[in-house]
Amino acid sequence: MSRDVPRLVGQDLRVPLVGSGDARYVNLDYAASAPALEQVAAAVDEFLPWYSSVHRGAGFKSQVATQVYEDARGRIHAFVGARPDDVVVITRNTTDSLNLLAHALPDDAEILTFAGEHHANLLPWRRRRVRHLDLPDRPSDLAPMLAEAIRATASPNILVAVTAASNVTGELWPVAELTAVAHEQGARVVVDAAQLAPHGPVTIATWDADWVALSGHKMYAPYGAGALVGRRDWLQQRAPFLVGGGAVAFVSTDEVAWLDAPERQEAGSPNVVGAMALGVACGVLEAHGTGQMLEHEAALAVEAAAALDGIAGLRRLRLFGDDHPSIGVQSFVADGFHHNLVATYLSAEHGIAVRDGCFCAHPLLLRLLGVSHDDADKVRDAILAGDRAAVPGAVRISAGLATTSDDIAAVSRALDLLMTHGPSWNYRFDPADGHHVPDPDDRPMPALRALQPR
């Protein structure tokens, strides 16, 4: 497959290593946050002289900014394959989007979600009545479990909250099938598309989902914007999640007339730059081909799995098995090494960026690691006492637009060295935060303006 892909800011960056020398920065941490597309950064620089207030300013710059903002809304609408009457609410990120939707739900709403979700799709619902469904061993059991749970739920207003792709294992979830089951029984569905959107097609209309949520910082537009896209009715049946200017048609000292969505849910001065960046990223990714991105990452996932399986002492974490389709995300544990030591070693000695920990998906990690309820309680008590030494976790490598087979080979060589010979540098562990640091860490920080003395 052609690797004629959009370029990323900092794609050729070199970083210092401990001891001496430097190395090409191998970014395998796209699942957490992705660098900006060069087209996005250029569009931001071009727009900044024209930045102004939106919607009510009479100045020419304000009119330009308003058009840019609303154009971004349209680009996001097109990117997710939304229906003509779907509304696009500009938010900060997926977490913001799902908290907004949780606030907007009818008072009697009940939420069903699986225990393998990211915290962004677990915690917002706890202000409501929510049931967390256990994770099955087979993906074919998901739909029957959901159907049974919906039948056992008494409320006429049921919301099913489900991910499109796991941020821990990369495994794709059968969103269309789950949505069909939910709709057959009168439930609605919101899809956490944060992990899938930068890696493959998001198709709200094809899925027949009611809402999707996504984040710009994962879509190569890290300027602080995200979006909630979908049905309008529940988003405008009550006072908004955030109240303030821009969300109202009229205010007196004793009453408020709220605007309809999306304005009702966008109180305050919006992040015009972030929205524009997200809109440009949507256009770039759509032009490149989300299907092509998914194909590229599926191939990398196979390469990474084979490489990790070839290293003695590494164990990959999967929920449904290797025959289940995935994006380019692989998580693993390394026998004899703390997960944070592995990640710190890869960065300090090889210039390779990965992520470690529980990836904001604690229930799923505990399941994959085989941590019992009693052991989980002990870990929680130790954390509350200020000791994070025994916090369980894993290491995650995640691919993106710029990832190549050379990157997979680089992390494979580095991990093989670690498992065979151990680290070549000394590392100090702090049980208070559970982190390792090179000792000493002689890598110089870059001469950024933001890091200059005040």
* Least confident piece of the model among 30-44, 70-84, 274-288, 370-384: 370-384
DSSP secondary structure of 90-154: EESSHHHHHHHHHHHS-TT-EEEEETTS-GGGTSGGGGSEEEEEPPPSSGGGHHHHHHHHHHT--
Separation CA 412–CA 418 (nearest Å) = 10
**What local confidence, expressed as pLDDT, does residue 452 receive?**
87
The reported pTM is 0.95
- For residue 428, list its beta bridge partners: 437
Own/partner contacts of 71-74, CB < 8 Å, gap of 24 or more, are 71/276, 71/279, 72/275, 72/276, 72/278, 72/279, 72/280, 73/262, 73/275, 73/279, 74/279
DSSP conformational letter for 48: G
Residue 449: how many other CB atoms lie within 10 Å: 5
> How is 411-424 classified by DSSP, letter by letter?
HHHHHHHHHHH--S
Q: Strand 226-230 and strand 211-215: pairing?
A: antiparallel
User: What is the per-residue pLDDT across 303-342, written as a single tens digit (0 to 9) for each?
Assistant: 999 999 999 999 999 999 889 999 999 999 999 999 999 9
Q: For residue 282, indicate whether it is catalytic.
A: no
> Band of the pLDDT at 56, cuts 50, 70, 90?
confident
State the average pLDDT for the chain.
Answer: 95
* Overall average pLDDT of the 254-271 stretch: 94
pLDDT at 113 over 80: yes
Name residues whose C-beta falls within 8 Å of residue 42's C-beta, 6 or more positions apart in sequence. none
Per-residue tokens: 274: 């972030």
* pLDDT tens per residue, range 283-306: 999 999 999 999 999 899 999 999
pLDDT at 454 over 90: no
Instruction: Dihedral sign for Cα 230, 235, 241, 242, please.
Output: positive
Q: Which of 109, 348, 360, 399 is catalytic?
A: 360
Whether the per-residue pLDDT at 1 is higher than 80: the answer is: no
Give me the domains of the chain, ranges plus CATH numbers.
14-30+289-449 (3.90.1150.10), 40-288 (3.40.640.10)
Percent of the chain with pLDDT over 70: 99
Residue 352 above 70 pLDDT?
A: yes
